[in-house]
Structure formats: structure tokens, C-alpha cells
Chains A and B, each alone.
Chain A
Amino acid sequence: MSETSTLIAHQFDDAEQQRESSTLGMWIFLATEVMFFGGIFLGYIVYRSQYPIAFAAASNRLDIWLGLINTAVLICSSFTMVLAVYNAAAAQRRALQTNLLLTIVLGCVFLSIKLYEYHMKFEENLVPGASFAFPAPLAPAAEIFFSFYFAMTGMHAVHMVIGIGLLGGLLFRAGRGWYSPEYFTPVELVGLYWHFVDIVWIFLFPLLYLVGRHL
């Protein structure tokens, strides 16, 4: 077994303790993220139940097709992430690098589409603040909708950026041969994080884009 294949930090007794601790740590971190997003979801739900008509009207101004494409892109990226974890466990270094790269690319596609959507909203005067414009009686509550839209998708996007950064780190280390069937915990744990960010979007998409929508 090579030096690099089982890197046990000095505070741990063995690889198993290290792996279990890291995994528990990531799950606890994800629990904190649930509470973080949960707070803003709660706020959204409160206002939506108070202003259903305005929220539906505002939601209709979002581009449902871009949202759908983004959803598909993220789900695919979770798939490539799962493949990457499998590759790491199966000592398939090339495939691991490919799948990590694919995940990063898909993540960047998501962010690009999001950026384009933000740009469109800016052009349509739907960014809350002085320039916000919306048909009069519904305008205030619609502005609240868009405040939540930008805050929620913005926080989500920040998490995606961090995730892409982590994936980049994994890609770099995968290239250096850090991961093996004996030690691929970081790939698993970043995978957990990435799946969580995906799940947040799975909640965001219907709540924001599909209010009162009849196909």
C-alpha cells in the first residue's frame, strides 16, 4: 500500500475512524445547510400564502424553459458526480477525471443560464429596487416575490460556485493520483454536497417557476 493511498491525519487512530468522522461531519454540515435554506423557504411560503395572486403573476414572468433546462442540467451533473464517485472507488482514474470535469462543465452551464436569466430580468425591470416595474395593484407583492427569487437563487448560485471550486480541487488531486479504492472519501463527500445543492434547486424550481402554472 503506497504512502499516498491511505493518508490518515494524526488525530485519527485508523482510516476507518477518519472516514467515519469525515462522513458524519459532512452530514452535519448538510443539516446546517437545510436549516439555512429552510429559513428563507419559510419566508417564501409565508408571503406566498399571503399574496397568492401577485406571486403567481410574478412567477409567470420567469422563463420556465430556461428553468427546465437548468433543472435537467443539474440532474445530469449529479449523475456524472455519482459516476465520478464510482470511478474513484473502482480505481478508474481517467474516468474519474472525465466525470469530475463533466460535472464542473454542467455546473458552469447552469450558472451561465442563471446569469443570462438575471440579465433578462434586469432588462425587464424586474430587479427589486428603484427600477422595479410591474402592473400597479400587484406591484408591491410582486417585488417581494422577486426579492425572494434573487435571494434564493443567488444563495443557491453561491453554493454552486463553492461546489465547482471543490470539484476543481478534486480534479487537480485526482490528476496527482490522490484517490484510490482505499481512500476516496473526499470525492464521496463533495458528491454529497453537490447532490444537496441539486436537491435545493429541485425545491426552488417548482416553488419559484411553477406557481399557478397550467401547461
Chain B
Amino acid sequence: MSAAQPPPRIHYLNVSYGIRSWLVTTDHKRIAWLYLLSITFFFVIGGLFAVFMRLELLTPEGDLVQADTYNKLFTLHGVTMVFFFLIPSIPAVLGNFLVPIMIGARDLAFPRLNLASWYIYTLGGAFTLAAAAAGGVDTGWTFYTPYSSIYSNTHVALTVVGIFITGFSSILTGLNFIVTIHKMRAPGMTWFRLPLFIWAHYATSIIFVLGTPVLAITLVLVALERLFHLGIFDPALGGDPILFQHLFWFYSHPAVYIMILPAMGVVSELIACFSRKRIFGYDFVAFASLAIAVIGFLVWGHHMFVSGQSVYASMVFSILSFLVAIPSAIKVFNWTATLYKGSVSYDAPMLYALGFIGLFTIGGLTGLFLATLGIDVHVHDTYFVIAHFHYIMVGGAVMGYLGGIHFWWPKMTGRTYPEGWARLAALIVFIGFNLTFFPQFLLGYLGMPRRYHAYPPEFQVLNVMSTAGASILGTGYVIPLIYLIWSLRYGAVAGANPWLAKGLEWQTSSPPPTDNFEITPLVTEEAYAYADAEGENDLPLRKPVDV
């Protein structure tokens, strides 16, 4: 009997075609793709700046580029990576895609605001690219005054205006997430049935909303000082450069938790799925996210221990900085304990998650050195700090991002990626990363300051190791770029739940329909309700037992 071809299933990707349908979309899933393209673009740009920096640092002399050029390279590397890649990355791509679906909603609370967020991000990015094209900026991404407000001859105002504009994208995204999570959960989705990914994004959104405005006003003041010669931070007028540092770090420290919390949320999802087990200590992990967000607002002065800040203030910031490490440690222990009596598989997302735990642990532990006042005096503003934050941001956040992209790729695209290549790339990234950044801890303790275009010859061996590692790391990033694009056309078609994972996103088709679900889900299970020892989860409302 001849079977008529069933009409192709309509989902969010094929419901309409044409670039216009993408540029005026209010579908959170399409907006996630817009962000994915933008942040990938900025990741490549920021990465290219890093390539030139590491090439220059192969030799002690400043012989590849001029000093001013090098200073612009490290500034633009920091600005693009922090503001235009890391801060949006997981929330704007994975968060936008998944937050509504994971809670059973049709979209975010404010879809048009969501689209506006992307346009604002893009506008800010355009300003900053214009500044780079016009000659760049050389103040460091930290814009310390009075160098940035008075002495620098580069495009400071243009750059800070770009970052200021992009900040609104963060604020509106955070606002959107908070309202969505509060008001739009599906029936039965109580707070403690939420996936930990949602808890992580909720905590992140609190920081987005409360921290970013302070950066905004700080950058406004710097821009006003440069454009209209208002002497707010000018020491010749009695202005206080330390005030700038307080205002700047009040945002920029919580910003680092913006960068890591979403990755921790991803890791919770991955560990649970690939151990086929509920995350150990769910409540503790959820509250740890909130604790990190709150305490994270109280530690900014640890960037200023040798800035002329009072000894007592430094002590307060030091002790709080140790406290903020505790909830992160709690998460690491809980993730590890989840593996116990689980059923662990080594799919690429899991490799990224396990890599995250290892590298984040090292990064976090090296933070203890920096929180320790007596040690920080020696290692502040050296490569030790650079190694520390790259372990967290690259070894942590970027690995979390890549793990999440791989895990939800089938959901987002309806295609699977080639698993062999993915595992290889994860391994290359892990090895390349360690080769690049571990030597920098040694360089830092030996005394090599950061932001140095040329350095004394005794530091060369470690610098060469680091550059060699960077070439491996770069390769590890290029490989997924290639096969993920390849998979869009040639990857195997994915079903609704290729990982057999728990979570509402896996209850709908891959890719999902525009409104995410055919009918609004009714939630009757706890989060991560994987099979129990009897082989089935036959009491769906029963809460798991404590050991």
C-alpha cells in the first residue's frame, strides 16, 4: 500500500525561514542561536588576540609587536573574553534555550525584552569592535584610573561605552530569568523539584541584576571624565583612584561568579545524567549557588590588598574570600559523591564535566593562595593570578559551556555530533589547557608580573611551555567548531531523548516545537528521578532517602 509521506514535523527551526524571521523572532530558542553565533564570533576574536600575545611571549624581548600594540592586545583579549564571551555564554545561549523548557513554560516572561537584549549586546559589541578597529585600547580590561581616565591615548571612551551598552543586555536577561523562574513554572514544578541548572541561573541572575548597574555607573564616570574632563578620579584635583577600584571591583568580582555559576549548573545536569543518579546533596548544591551569589558581593576588596587599602579592610575581605570558597567546595564534594554507586558513562559531555571538576578544583584551591594575605602580597599582579583565573574561566566555565553545548546539541538541532571526535577534542582541550596554564603558576611565584610585553630571560622556558600548550588548546577548540557545523547537515537524526535523561526538556521533541510542549507538562517527579536500586522509580512522589 502506498503510504503518503507524513508532513514534516514543524518545530522552532523550520516554522519559518529567512533571515528576517530570525532577526525579529521572539522565540527564546532562536534568540539563543543568535547569541551562540555572536559569542562564538567574539570567542574567536578574543582567541586571536591571545594567539598574538602568546607568540610575543615566546621570547623575552618585545620583538613581535610594539609595546603599545601588546598592551592593546591583552586589553582587548580581556574585554572581549570577559564581557562579550564569558558573561553571556552559558546564560544567553543555554540559559535562554533551556530555562523555559526546563520549568515547563512556553517562553520566557518577556520575549521581546529577550530579543532587545540580543540587539543591545550586539550594539555594545559593535562599539567595542569599532574601538578596536580605530586603534584599540590599552588600559587593561580593568581600566584603572588615572591611567584610563587621563593618561591613556587610546579609545577608552568608545570601549567603555560599548561595555556599558552590553551591560544592559545582562541586566535584562537576568531580570527575565528571575521573573520567569518565579512566575512561570509548570504545575507541580515546586522550587525543590527544579533542576540545579535553574538554581544556578537564578543565582546568576541575582548577580546580573544587582552587580551590573554598578559597573554601568562606574564606566559612565570614566567616560564622562575622558569626554568632558570631569575630574572625578583625577588625583590632581583631589580625586581618588582607589574609589574607582572599589566601584569597579564591586561589580567585577561578582562578575566572576556570573561566569562560573551557570557552568556549575551545567555540570550538575551532566553528572546526574551520566551517572544516572540524582545529584548527591541536591539541597546543599542549590543553596550553595545562592550562597556563592550573596557572599560573592562581599569580597571585592581582595583585589586591592596592596592598593593602599587599610589593613583592617583587607582582613575583612580576606576572611570573606575564604568563606566564599566553602560553598564551591561543597559542590565539588557533592558532584564527586554522586558518582558513588552510580552508572557512569564516558560520553563527551561527561568528559567535559569531569574535566571541569578537576580544573575548577585546582583553580579554586589556588584562590586560597590569593585570599591568604601574606601570600597575596607576593603573587598579586603576577602570572599566578592569571593562571588562577584561567583555570576557573577556561578550565571551568568554557569546559562547562562545551559540555553543555554537546549535551543539548541533539535537543537544539535534532542532530547528534560524532562522539569519537568529541571525546578526542575534550581530551585535547584538557591536556592543552594544563600545558598552557600550569607553568604560569610557577612563573607567577617566581615573580613574573602580568601585562609584561618583554620579560627577563630567566622566565623564558616556562613561557615557551605555555605557548606550546596554547597551540594544543587552540586545536582542541577548532575541532568541535568543525564537527558541530558538520553535524547540522550530516549528523545522525536525534530522537527526543538520546541520553535517556530526566528533565522536562527531554520530554519534548528534538528540536522542540515553538511553544516547547504540545501540552503543558504536569510535574509529578522529583528532579533527577533516575531508577533506584529496585530498577525502577515506582514511587514518583517519594523523596529519595538520606544515607
Q: Which residues of A contact B (CB under 8 A)?
A: 9-13, 17, 20-21, 24-25, 28-29, 31-33, 35-40, 42-43, 46-47, 50-51, 128-130, 140-141, 143-144, 147-148, 150-151, 155
Q: Let me know if B231 and A25 touch, CB within 8 A.
A: no
**Minimum Cβ distance to chain B for residue A19 (Å):** 10
User: Which among B220-228, B287-295, B433-441, B459-467 touches the partner chain?
Assistant: B220-228
A12 to B210, CA, bound (A): 26
Q: How far is the CB of B166 from chain A (nearest CB, A)?
A: 15
Among A11, A31, A36, the most chain B Cβ lie within 10 Å of the Cβ of A11
B residues in contact with A33, CB < 8 Å: 213
**CB within 8 Å of A: which of B210-246?**
210-214, 216-218, 220-221, 224-225, 228-232, 236-240, 243
Within 8 A of A (CB), among B159-206: 171, 175-176, 178-180, 182-184
- On chain B, the residues within 8 Å of A29 by CB distance are 171, 175
Interface centre among A28, A50, A129 (most CB of B within 10 A): A28
Q: How far is the CA of A47 from the CA of B476 in the complex (A)?
A: 50
Some 6 contacts from A to B, beta carbons below 8 A apart, are: A10-B106, A11-B184, A32-B212, A36-B216, A147-B230, A155-B220
Asked whether, in the complex, the Cβ of B175 is within 8 Å of the Cβ of A32, the reply is yes
B179 touches A150 (CB 8 A): no
CB of A32 within 8 A of CB of B240, answer no
Cα–Cα distance between A129 and B179 once the two chains are bound (Å): 44
Assess A43 versus B232: contact at CB under 8 Å? Given A11-B105, A21-B109, A155-B220: yes
CB-based nearest B residue for A41 = B217
Q: Note all chain B residues with C-beta closer than 8 A to A143.
A: 231, 237
Complex: A46 Cα to B100 Cα, angstroms: 43
| Residues of A close to B230: CB separation below 8 A | 128-129, 147, 150-151
**Cβ-defined contact, A128 with B105, below 8 A:** no
Most buried by B among A32, A38, A43: A32
Taking the complex as formed, is B247 at the interface, i.e. its CB lies under 8 A from any CB of chain A? yes
A47-B105 contact given A17-B184, A128-B229, A147-B232, CB 8 Å threshold: no
Of the residues A9, A32, A151, contact of B171 by C-beta under 8 Å? A32
* Among candidates B109, B211, B212, B236, residue contacting A140 with C-beta atoms closer than 8 Å: B236
Could you tell me the distance in whole angstroms from the C-beta of A145 to the nearest C-beta in chain B? 10
Contacting pair A129 B228 (CB below 8 A)? yes
Are A21 and B224 in contact, CB atoms less than 8 angstroms apart? no
In contact, A144 and B231 (Cβ under 8 angstroms): yes
Q: Is B209's CB within 8 Å of the partner chain A? A: yes
Tell me which of B107, B182, B211, B243 contacts A43 (CB under 8 A).
Answer: B243
Indicate the size class of the contact surface on chain B: 35 or more
- In the complex, the answer to whether A151 meets B216 with C-beta atoms within 8 Å is no
Docked pose: A38 CA to B239 CA in angstroms:
19
Question: B107 near A11 (CB under 8 angstroms)?
Answer: yes
Q: Are A24 and B214 in contact (CB under 8 A)?
A: no
B residues near A140, Cβ cutoff 8 Å: 231, 236-238
Give complex CA distance A47, B100 in Å.
46
- Please, which residues of chain B bring their CB within 8 A of the CB of A31? 209-210
Are the C-beta atoms of B232 and A144 separated by less than 8 Å? Answer: yes
* A32–B108 CA distance with the chains assembled, in angstroms: 20
Residues in chain A near residue B111, CB distance under 8 A? 9, 11
A39–B212 Cα distance when bound, in Å, is 11
Which residues of A have CB within 8 Å of B231?
Answer: 128, 140, 143-144, 147
Known contacts A11-B109, A151-B232: A28-B179 contact under CB 8 Å: yes
The answer to whether A141 touches B238 (Cβ under 8 A) is: yes
- Judge whether A36 and B217 touch: CB under 8 Å: yes
User: B483 to chain A: which residues have CB within 8 Å?
Assistant: none
Whole-angstrom distance between the alpha carbons of A33 and B236 in the complex? Answer: 31
CB-based nearest A residue for B175:
A28
Chain B residues near A51: list those with CB within 8 A: 238
Is B110 interfacial (CB-CB < 8 Å)?
A: yes
Shortest A162–chain B CB gap in Å is: 12
Query: Once bound together, how far apart are the Cα atoms of A144 and B211, in whole Å?
Result: 25
In whole Å, how far is A122's beta carbon from the nearest beta carbon of chain B? 12
User: Interface digits, B498-538 against A, CB 8 Å rule (1 contact, 0 not)?
Assistant: 00000000000000000100001000000000000000000
Kindly provide the distance from the CB of A137 to the nearest chain B CB, expressed in whole angstroms.
11
**Are A46 and B240 also in contact (CB < 8 A) when A10-B106, A25-B175, A28-B175 are?**
yes
B243 and A46 form a contact (CB under 8 A): yes
Which residues of chain A come closer than 8 Å to B225, judged between CB atoms? Answer: 147
Chain B residue with the shortest CB-CB distance to A44: B232
Other 11 A-B pairs with CB < 8 A, given A32-B171, A32-B175, A39-B216? A11-B184, A12-B109, A21-B109, A21-B183, A29-B171, A32-B209, A36-B214, A39-B250, A40-B220, A129-B230, A143-B231
